[in-house]
Amino acid sequence: MTSKRVSSPALRRRQVLGGAGAFVLAAILPAGRSRGAGMLVEDATASFAPNAYIRIGSDNIVTMILPNIEMGQGIYTSSVMLMAEELAIDPQSVRMEAAPPGGGAEITGGSTSSMTEWMPLRQAGAAARTMLQQAAAARWSCAPGNCVAQDGYILGPAGQRLSYGELAADAANLPVPKDVTLKTPAQFRLIGRPMHRLDSQVKVDGQATFGIDVQVPGQKIGAVAACPVIGGHVGHVDTQAALKIRGVVTVLQIDDAVCVVADHYWAARKGLAALDVQWVEGANATVDTQTIYRQLEGGLSGPAIVADHHGDPQQAMNHAHGRYSATYRQPLLAHATMEPINCTIHVRPDGCDIWTGTQVAERARDTTAEVTGLPKDRIKLHSQYIGGGFGRRLEHEYVTQAARFGRQVSYPLKIIWSREEDITRDRFRPAYLDHLEAGLDERGYITGLTHRIVGPAVVARWEPSGLSANGYDDDLSVGTVITPYTYPAYRLEFARREPPGVITAWWRGVGGTRGLFVVEGFIDELAQRAGVDPVAYRREMVRSNPRALAVLDRVARESGWGTPLPPNCGRGVALQFAFGSYLATVVEVEMAAAHDVRIRRVTCAVDCGQVINPDQITAQIEGGLIFGFSAALYNEITLEKGRVQQDNFHTWRVMRMNEAPKRIDVHLIESRESPGGIGETGTAAAAPALANAMAAVQKRRYRFLPLLSPLNQPSGHEKEQQG
Amino acid sequence: MLTLQVNGKSVEVDVDPDTPLLWVLRDVLGMTGTKYGCGIAECGVCTVHVDGRPVRSCSLPVGLIGPQKAITTIEGLQADPIATAVRKAWLDIDVVQCGYCQPGQIMAAIALLKKIPNPTDEQIEAGMSGNLCRCGTYMRIRAAIRNVAAAQGVTP
C-alpha cells in the first residue's frame, strides 16, 4: 500500500485486534438454537479451544467465534472461509458465533474487517490444524509432517483416520505453536473462490434473529420518544390517558426521553400517542438548516488547520498558466437502516443481559456498566444479526438509553424506536463545504492544488483520542489526501465547525464518500476545462500508478467509454483509492428532463488485493452503489426550529427497484496485494460518478448534494479565474 | 377475542381491533419473521399474504380481517412449490445481505409469481417496488425472480 492513512475506526480496530488473544467463553441463553439462527454465544465447553476463534468439541462440532459482526457485508462467510482454509474443514459444517465483548469484538466498521482478519484468522486455523496433526502423530508414533489434515480428519501414513473431535482432547493438552506455516495462494482451496453465504438460509426462512426479534420470557415492550430538539429535556408529563390504554403497564422517564411500556408494541405506541409530554426544548430550538450552512460558510475564510501539504501551491498558482476554483456542498444524512433502532435489556441487582445489534459490543457493555453500577463482568451482551449498519450501529446511545429505562423495572424491557424516532433522532453524517483552487499548466493539468474542508471532526466526539494533536480528523484524508493522484504542490486545510442542534456521526463510506464527491467532481471539471476526455485526463494524472491505471483502463473498456450513446444520455467516471482498494466506476445515465434521472448502467473495475469471496465483493459494490445513489439523488436532512423535518420513508426517499440501475457489472482484477476494504467503496463511488454523468448530459456542473437539489439549477455557480 | 387463520391454524387473540396484524404476529403470537420497518406501508418489510394477496401487515388492523381469511406469513409456505422455488433462487445467487427486508421481499415475490408465473421486467418492478432494501439487493432480486420463472419452464 502507498501512504494510506488509516481512518479512525480502522485504527481502533487494528489496535484492538493486534492485542486480541484472551479467550472469553460466555455462557449465554438461550441454548439449543438452530445453527446460525441467531448469534447468541451458546453455553459450550469445548475440549479443544486453541485460540479465541476456534473451539472443537469431542462431539466433532467445530465452532468458529467471529470477531466482526455480520450486518450484511458477508463477513461471517469470509471469516469462516479464512479459518476453514487452514483448518481443512468444510465451511458449511461450521457453527458460527459472534464474539462476546472482550473476545475481539470491539468495533466493526471502516471497511477494515477483511484487512484485519486476513492474517490472524488464517493463523488461528493453521494453529489448530497443526495441534491436531501433532496429537495424531503422537497416537500413531509418527512424524506430524506425515499426518495430513483433510475435510475434518487427520489421515496417517498407514491409512489411519481420526476425526478432529476424536483428537480434540489430546490436542487441548499441547502447547499452542508460536509459528505456523500458512498455505501459499497456489494452495488455496476456498480463498478466492465463490462461496455461498453461510447466513442466507435462516434469513430466507424468516428464522434469523435480529435484535428486534429477541423474545425473552417475561419481556415488556417500550415505545420511546426523546425530546425532538437535541439538548432539550422532559418537562411536565401527564400519564393519566396513557395508563388507561389497554395493555400499557407503566410510563418511564429519563431526563431527555419518555418510554411507555406495554405488553406489546402497538399498545405501547398507543400509550405514547396518548401521553401528554411537554418538552423543554432549550437553546437549539432556534437552529435551522441555514444556521448550519451559514456557520460552514464562515469557515471558508479565516484561520484553518493545515492538515497536509507539500511543495508551495500558492507559488505554483501565482506562476500558473490558468487558475480554477469551485465550492462543493454536502448535506446532513440519516442512516435509515431497515431494522429500526432497538435494544432489549434485563437489569437485575446481580447482573444484566443485553440483546441487540451493535458494531461496538464493548462500548455497549461498558455504558451499561456505568448506568447500572454493575461490574462489567456481570453484564452479558448477546450480539444479534444487524438489520443494516452503515455506521449507525457504531453509536451505542440506544443501549445507554435502554439501560437507563431498564434499571427502573424488574422485567426484561425491549425498547423499539419507531421509524420516526429512528430518523429524527439519528446521529447524522455531517454537512460540509469544500473549496478547491488549482493552478494549471498550459495543457490544463494541475501544478498546485489547495483544498479547504469546512465541517466537524466526527472523531472528536466518537473517539477523542483519535483527534490529531493539531485538531485534525484523519478520516477527512480519505479521498482527498489519499487518492491515486500526485500533485506537484498541495495543501489541505481544515476549518473545524461543529454544528449546533445535531449530533454528527459515521456513515457508510465515511471520509471516502465525503471526499470523493468533491475531488472527483473537481478533477472532472478540470478535464472539461482542458477540453480533455475525463478518462484520458485521469490517465495522464496516474500514469505512474499501475494499479490505478489498470482499473481505469479496464472500466473504460468494459463500459464502452467513448462509444456513441442515444440522445439525452451521458457517462461519468470516478477513480478512487480508498480503504486499501482501487476502484474505477463508470455510470451511464439518461435524463429526459433535468429532474428525470435514469441510471442505465454502471460498470466497476476493482482491485481490492487478494479476494476472499469474489461474489460477495460484487454484492457489496452493487449494494454500496445503490446506497450511494439513493443519498446522492434524493437525501438531505433539514431542520426547522431545531426539529428534523424528515421522519419516514415518504419524506426520506430510498431508491426503489424501479429506480435502481438496470445493470451493474463488476470486474475484479486479480491481485496478490493484501485484502483491501470493500463494503464502503461502492457508496463512495456513487455520487461522483453519477454527478459527472449528469454533468455530461446537462452540460453543467453538479456541486451540491443531493443532485436533484434546486441549487444545481443553471444559475452560474461555475466560475473560472484566469491568474 | 378475535379469531384469525394464521398459516392454516385458527388462533384467538385478545387485543384491540385497531391493532395492526404485524404486532399481533410479532408480539402476541411470537412470529418474528415478519418485520417492522415504517408502520405506514411505505417499505414492505411487513408483507404477508391475506388470501394469497400481498398485504402490508403494519397497516392492517386485525379487527378488519375476520376469522375466514387465510393469513400466510414467511413462517408458513414451507411446503409450497413456488415458495420453495423462490427461496432456492434467492440462495442460488446469494441475494441476501443483512437480510432484514428479505422475508417481505420473498413474500412479495411469491405473491407476484403466483399471479404472474412469467413476469416481464416491468411486471417484476411493479410487483416489487413497494419493498425497500437498504443493502441494495434489487438487481439480484430481479434476477432471482426471472430464474424462478425460467426454472418453472416458462420462458421469458
Which carries the bigger pLDDT value, residue A71 or residue A19? A71
DSSP letter at A696 equals: H
- Contact partners, residue A9, CB within 8 Å, separation at least 6: A107, A109, A110, A112, A394, A475, A506, A510
Among A28, A106, A13, residue whose Cα is nearest residue A361: A106
Q: Confirm if A368 and A354 have CB atoms less than 8 A apart.
A: yes
In this structure, the answer to whether residues B32 and B62 fall within a common structural domain is: yes
In this structure, the answer to whether residues A196 and A242 fall within a common structural domain is: no
- In whole numbers, what is the pLDDT of chain B averaged over residues? 96
- Contact partners, residue A509, CB within 8 Å, separation at least 6: A578, A624, A628, A680, A681, A683, A684
Domain C-terminal end among B72, B90, B107? B72
A580 domain-assigned: yes
Confidence tier at A397 by pLDDT (50, 70, 90): very high
User: Touching check for A409 and chain B: CB below 8 Å?
Assistant: no
- Partners of A277 in the β-ladder: A237
- Partners of A720 in the β-ladder: A324
At residue A69, does pLDDT exceed 90? no
A103-107, A381-385, A529-533, B58-62: segment of lowest average pLDDT: A103-107
Return the axis-axis angle of helices B138-151 and A614-634, rounded to nearest 10°. 120
A423 domain-assigned: no
Q: Domain holding B129: CATH number? A: 1.10.150.120
In this structure, the answer to whether residues B102 and B42 fall within a common structural domain is: no
At residue A12, does pLDDT exceed 80? no
Rounded to whole angstroms, the Cα distance separating A148 from A136 reads 10
Quote helix, strand, coil % in chain B, to nearest 5: 40, 15, 45
Q: What is the pLDDT of residues A587-603, one digit of tens each?
A: 999 999 999 999 999 99
Collect all residues of chain A within an 8 Å Cβ-Cβ radius of residue B43: 338, 649, 654
Place of cell 426503489: A656
In this structure, the answer to whether residues A579 and A435 fall within a common structural domain is: yes
Q: Helix, strand or coil for residue B50?
A: strand
Domain C-terminal end among B53, B72, B91? B72
Q: What is the pLDDT of residues B110-146, one digit of tens each?
A: 999 999 999 999 999 999 999 999 999 999 999 999 9
**What is the reported pLDDT for A713?**
74
Q: Confirm if A300 and A433 have CB atoms less than 8 A apart.
A: yes
Please judge whether B140 and A661 are an interchain contact, meaning their C-beta atoms are less than 8 angstroms apart.
Answer: no
In this structure, the answer to whether residues A111 and A217 fall within a common structural domain is: no
Domain C-terminal end among A416, A437, A452? A416
A172 domain-assigned: yes
Rounded to whole angstroms, the Cα distance separating B141 from B136 reads 10
- Contact partners, residue A462, CB within 8 Å, separation at least 6: A8, A394, A505, A506
Collect all residues of chain B within an 8 Å Cβ-Cβ radius of residue A206: 32-34, 73-75, 103
User: CA A85: distance to chain centroid?
Assistant: 26
In this structure, the answer to whether residues B147 and B85 fall within a common structural domain is: yes
Q: What is the pLDDT of residues A684-695, one digit of tens each?
A: 999 999 999 999
As given in the structure block, the three cell numbers for residue A266 are: 402497538
In this structure, the answer to whether residues A217 and A262 fall within a common structural domain is: yes
Rounded to whole angstroms, the Cα distance separating A523 from A576 reads 12
**What is the reported pLDDT for A401?**
98
In this structure, the answer to whether residues A500 and A615 fall within a common structural domain is: yes
Q: What is the span of the domain harbouring residue A65?
A: 8-204
Rounded to whole angstroms, the Cα distance separating A432 from A711 reads 15
In this structure, the answer to whether residues B147 and B105 fall within a common structural domain is: yes
Q: In what order do the strands lie in the sheet with A153-155?
A: A148-150, A153-155, A161-163
Please judge whether A419 and B91 are an interchain contact, meaning their C-beta atoms are less than 8 angstroms apart.
Answer: no
Largest CA distance in chain B: 48
Collect all residues of chain B within an 8 Å Cβ-Cβ radius of residue A196: 91, 94
* Neighbour count for residue A709 (Cβ, 10 Å): 16
Collect all residues of chain B within an 8 Å Cβ-Cβ radius of residue A197: 94, 96
A385 domain-assigned: yes
ipTM: 0.97
**What is the reported pLDDT for B154?**
55
A422 domain-assigned: no
Report the amino acid identity of residue B114.
Answer: K
Number of domains in chain A: 3
Question: pTM for the complete prediction?
Answer: 0.92
Mutate which: A34, A198, A199, A203, vs B, most B CBs within 10 A: A203
Q: Helix, strand or coil for residue A400?
A: helix
Q: Residue A149 — φ and ψ, nearest 5°?
A: -90, 130
**What is the reported pLDDT for A722?**
38
In this structure, the answer to whether residues A403 and A436 fall within a common structural domain is: no
- Contact partners, residue A201, CB within 8 Å, separation at least 6: A36, B91
Query: Of all helices (H) and strands (E), which one includes residue B56?
Result: strand B53-56
Of B20, B95, B132, the CB nearest to A266: B20
Of B30, B103, B136, the CB nearest to A627: B136
Rounded to whole angstroms, the Cα distance separating A483 from A489 reads 14
Report the amino acid identity of residue A151.
Answer: D
Contacting B residues, span 3-42, partner chain A, CB-CB under 8 Å: 15-16, 19-20, 23-24, 26-28, 30, 32-40, 42
In this structure, the answer to whether residues A226 and A98 fall within a common structural domain is: no
B54 domain-assigned: yes
A421 domain-assigned: no
Confidence tier at B46 by pLDDT (50, 70, 90): very high
B93 domain-assigned: yes
- Mean pLDDT in residue range A125-129: 95
Q: What is the span of the domain harbouring residue B7?
A: 2-72
At residue A21, does pLDDT exceed 80? no
Q: Residues, chain A, total?
A: 723
- Mind giving me the DSSP string for A599-635? EEEEEEEEE-SS-SSHHHHHHHHHHHHHHHHHHHHH-
Q: Domain holding A257: CATH number? A: 3.30.365.10
- In whole numbers, what is the pLDDT of chain A averaged over residues? 90
In this structure, the answer to whether residues A129 and A189 fall within a common structural domain is: yes
In this structure, the answer to whether residues A663 and A563 fall within a common structural domain is: yes
Q: Confirm if A9 and A109 have CB atoms less than 8 A apart.
A: yes
- Mind giving me the DSSP string for A488-552? SSEEEEEEE-PPTT--B---TTHHHHHHHHHHHHHHHHHHHHHT--HHHHHHHHTTT-HHHHHHH
As given in the structure block, the three cell numbers for residue A27 are: 455462557
B156 domain-assigned: no
Q: Residue A105 — φ and ψ, nearest 5°?
A: -90, 80
Dump strand ranges (E) for A111-255. 148-150, 153-155, 161-163, 220-226, 233-238, 248-254
In this structure, the answer to whether residues A592 and A695 fall within a common structural domain is: yes
B121 domain-assigned: yes
**What is the reported pLDDT for A42?**
37
In this structure, the answer to whether residues B6 and B54 fall within a common structural domain is: yes
Size of interface A-B (CB pairs under 8 A): 182
Collect all residues of chain B within an 8 Å Cβ-Cβ radius of residue A37: none
Please judge whether A215 and B30 are an interchain contact, meaning their C-beta atoms are less than 8 angstroms apart.
Answer: yes
Burial B32-62 (b: 16+ CB within 10 A, else e): bbbbbbbbebbbbbbbbbbeeebbbbbebeb
Sign for the pseudo-dihedral over CA of A624, A627, A633, A636: negative
Q: Residue A338 — φ and ψ, nearest 5°?
A: -60, -35
In this structure, the answer to whether residues A227 and A115 fall within a common structural domain is: no
Rounded to whole angstroms, the Cα distance separating A335 from A541 reads 35
- Contact partners, residue A225, CB within 8 Å, separation at least 6: A257, A258, A259, A272, A275, A277, A421
- Return the ∠ at Cα A614 (arms to A543 and A619), rounded to 5°: 95
In this structure, the answer to whether residues B112 and B68 fall within a common structural domain is: no
Dump strand ranges (E) for A357-431. 379-383, 413-416
Q: What is the pLDDT of residues A428-473, one digit of tens each?
A: 999 999 999 999 999 999 999 999 999 999 999 999 999 999 999 9
Domain C-terminal end among A385, A416, A447? A416
- Mean pLDDT in residue range A13-22: 25
The phi-psi region of residue A82 (left if phi > 0; otherwise alpha if psi is between -120 and 50; otherwise beta) is alpha
In this structure, the answer to whether residues B52 and B87 fall within a common structural domain is: no
B90 domain-assigned: yes
Number of domains in chain B: 2
Rg (CA), chain B: 15
User: CA A161: distance to chain centroid?
Assistant: 44
In this structure, the answer to whether residues B33 and B16 fall within a common structural domain is: yes
Rounded to whole angstroms, the Cα distance separating A39 from A15 reads 24
In this structure, the answer to whether residues A525 and A594 fall within a common structural domain is: yes
* Neighbour count for residue A414 (Cβ, 10 Å): 27
In this structure, the answer to whether residues B128 and B90 fall within a common structural domain is: yes
Please judge whether A72 and B39 are an interchain contact, meaning their C-beta atoms are less than 8 angstroms apart.
Answer: no
Among A331, A289, A288, residue whose Cα is nearest residue A632: A331
Task: Tell me the shortest Cα–Cα distance from A40 to chain B, in angstroms.
Answer: 17
User: Touching check for A426 and chain B: CB below 8 Å?
Assistant: no
Long-range contacts of A136-140 (CB under 8 A, 24+ apart): A136/A160, A136/A162, A136/A167, A138/A170, A139/A167, A139/A170
Please judge whether A199 and B96 are an interchain contact, meaning their C-beta atoms are less than 8 angstroms apart.
Answer: yes
Which carries the bigger pLDDT value, residue A190 or residue A672? A190
Task: Tell me the shortest Cα–Cα distance from A74 to chain B, in angstroms.
Answer: 7
How many percent of chain B have pLDDT more than 90?
94
* Neighbour count for residue A542 (Cβ, 10 Å): 22
B28 domain-assigned: yes
Collect all residues of chain B within an 8 Å Cβ-Cβ radius of residue A624: 136
Long-range contacts of A464-468 (CB under 8 A, 24+ apart): A466/A8, A466/A11, A466/A12, A468/A307
**What is the reported pLDDT for A114?**
75
User: Touching check for B76 and chain A: CB below 8 Å?
Assistant: no
User: Touching check for B70 and chain A: CB below 8 Å?
Assistant: no
Q: Confirm if A614 and A668 have CB atoms less than 8 A apart.
A: yes
Confidence tier at A46 by pLDDT (50, 70, 90): low
* Neighbour count for residue A586 (Cβ, 10 Å): 27
**What is the reported pLDDT for A33?**
31
Domain C-terminal end among B38, B72, B106? B72
- Contact partners, residue A519, CB within 8 Å, separation at least 6: A436, A451, A479, A480, A483, A688
Contacting A residues, span 251-270, partner chain B, CB-CB under 8 Å: 263-267, 270
User: Touching check for B96 and chain A: CB below 8 Å?
Assistant: yes
Please judge whether B140 and A622 are an interchain contact, meaning their C-beta atoms are less than 8 angstroms apart.
Answer: yes
User: Touching check for A274 and chain B: CB below 8 Å?
Assistant: no
Q: Residue A269 — φ and ψ, nearest 5°?
A: -65, -45
Q: What is the pLDDT of residues A70-122, one digit of tens each?
A: 888 889 999 999 999 999 999 999 999 888 886 554 677 777 777 788 888 99
Largest CA distance in chain A: 84
- Partners of A276 in the β-ladder: A238
Mutate which: A249, A272, A338, A629, vs B, most B CBs within 10 A: A338
Rounded to whole angstroms, the Cα distance separating B60 from B149 reads 30
Contacting A residues, span 210-239, partner chain B, CB-CB under 8 Å: 210, 212-213, 215, 221
Q: Residue A392 — φ and ψ, nearest 5°?
A: -60, -40
Q: Domain holding B12: CATH number? A: 3.10.20.30
Task: Tell me the shortest Cα–Cα distance from B69 to chain A, in angstroms.
Answer: 22
A12 domain-assigned: yes
**What is the reported pLDDT for A14?**
27
- Mean pLDDT in residue range A322-327: 98
Collect all residues of chain B within an 8 Å Cβ-Cβ radius of residue A387: 35, 98-101
Place of cell 434499571: A407
DSSP letter at A641 equals: T
Nearest CA in chain A to B29: A264
Confidence tier at A714 by pLDDT (50, 70, 90): low
Q: What is the pLDDT of residues A537-558, one digit of tens each?
A: 999 999 999 999 999 999 999 9
According to DSSP, the β-strands at B70-72 and B47-50 are antiparallel
Q: Helix, strand or coil for residue A227?
A: coil
A3 domain-assigned: no
In this structure, the answer to whether residues B6 and B47 fall within a common structural domain is: yes
Domain C-terminal end among A204, A226, A255? A204
